[in-house]
């Protein structure tokens, strides 16, 4: 099946670049990682096709073909998601988010209860003010270094991100992999090779081709109040997390599962951050399809 693309309008007349793959009434909205674009990931396609799932998604503001939305919070993802669904003729849908897209999926679950039927958050960050969570414990140096630079002020931080984006644009996939070494557990190091790192390099480069505004805005939003309380989510939620995740340590997933009413925590003891999404457990898709079938 072909992935189709279109520009849609969001609040304030902003452009959001949207994607759609497949057909039918079982619709899952994909929320991409940080920094990246919204093109649905190929490892999910086989299970989706088997279950008759249509994927829709979009580049979040400032990435790829979507216009920036300065000062946005995590909650704004729900309003953008609704605008994309409206434009694509979708009434009800489930949400699936990975890494930086996990909080956006949870925003949809919290703020679109009449429209979103279920949510899966994979390798998802917890709120920065999560009570009782040592937020940076077990996280790779590359991520903690970014926070240290951010605390030096916006001008310094934006210069840092521009330097990172320039280096990315001039790098090879293998050089990107080397730059991410502090984030890679052995299982993720093994997974992030060949077509996987080539695809990641290409999509990250495309995400930042028009500037670092989306990356900067999104990173800032993670450390600010999200605009909703995860404890307010009242629909079926599953939290998937790999035990060997150095991008987002597994304690984040445990915290979310403990604070989202009725959420199920799915620990993958042999996976990390990259390998978890690449392994694409069929159970994840089957569970979402069941929730969609009940609509």
Query: What pLDDT digit, counting tens, does each position of 203-254 carry?
Result: 999 999 999 999 999 999 999 999 999 999 999 999 999 999 999 999 999 9
Determine the structural domain holding residue 124 and report its residue range: 3-293
Q: What is the 3-state secondary structure (H, E, C) of the chain?
A: CCEEEEEEECHHHCEEEEEEECCCCEEEEEECCCCCCCCCCHHHHHHHHHHCEEEEEECCCCCCCCCCCCCCCCCHHHHHHHHHHHHCCCCCEEEEEEHHHHHHHHHHHHHCCCCEEEEEEECCCCCCCCCCCCCCCCCCHHHHHHHHHHCCCHHHHHHHHHHHHHHHHCCCHHHHHHHCHHHCCHHHHHHCCHHHHHHHHHHHHHHCCCCCHHHHHHHHHHHCCCCCCHHHCCCCEEEEEECCCCCCCHHHHHHHHHHCCCCEEEEECCCCCHHHHHHCCHHHHHHHHHHHHCC
Confidence band for 295, pLDDT divided at 50, 70 and 90: low
Instruction: Please tell me the pTM assigned to this model.
Output: 0.96
In this structure, what CATH number is given to the domain that contains residue 30? 3.40.50.1820
How many structural domains are present in the chain? 1
Provide the percentage of residues in the chain whose pLDDT is more than 90.
Answer: 87
- Encode pLDDT of 107-156 as tens digits: 999 999 999 999 999 999 999 999 999 999 999 999 999 999 999 999 99
């Amino acid at each position: 099946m072909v992935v189709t693309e279109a520009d849609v309008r969001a609040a304030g007349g902003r452009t959001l670049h949207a994607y759609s793959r497949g057909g039918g009434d079982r619709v899952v909205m994909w929320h991409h990682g940080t920094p990246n674009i919204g093109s649905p990931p190929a490892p999910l396609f086989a299970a989706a096709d088997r279950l008759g799932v249509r994927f829709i998604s979009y580049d979040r503001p400032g990435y790829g073909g979507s216009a920036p939305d300065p000062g946005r919070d995590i909650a704004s993802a729900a309003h953008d998601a609704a605008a994309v669904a409206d434009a694509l003729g979708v009434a009800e849908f489930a949400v699936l988010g990975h890494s930086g897209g996990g909080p956006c999926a949870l925003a949809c679950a919290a703020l679109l209860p009449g429209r979103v039927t279920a949510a899966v958050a994979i390798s998802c960050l917890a709120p920065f003010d999560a009570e009782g969570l040592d937020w940076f414990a077990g996280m790779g140096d590359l991520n903690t270094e970014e926070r240290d630079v951010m605390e030096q002020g916006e001008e310094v931080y934006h210069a840092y991100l521009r330097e990172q984006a320039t280096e990315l644009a001039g790098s090879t996939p293998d050089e990107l992999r080397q730059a991410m070494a502090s984030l890679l557990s052995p299982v993720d190091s093994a997974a992030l090779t060949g077509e996987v790192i080539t695809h990641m390099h290409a999509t990250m480069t495309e995400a930042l081709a028009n500037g670092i505004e989306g990356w900067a805005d999104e990173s800032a939003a993670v450390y600010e109040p999200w605009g909703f309380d995860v404890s307010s989510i009242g629909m079926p939620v599953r939290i998937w997390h790999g035990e060997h995740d150095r991008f987002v340590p597994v304690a984040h997933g445990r915290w979310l599962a403990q604070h989202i009413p009725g959420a199920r925590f799915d620990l993958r003891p042999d996976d990390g951050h990259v390998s978890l999404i690449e392994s694409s457990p069929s159970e994840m898709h089957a569970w979402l399809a069941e929730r969609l079938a009940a609509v």
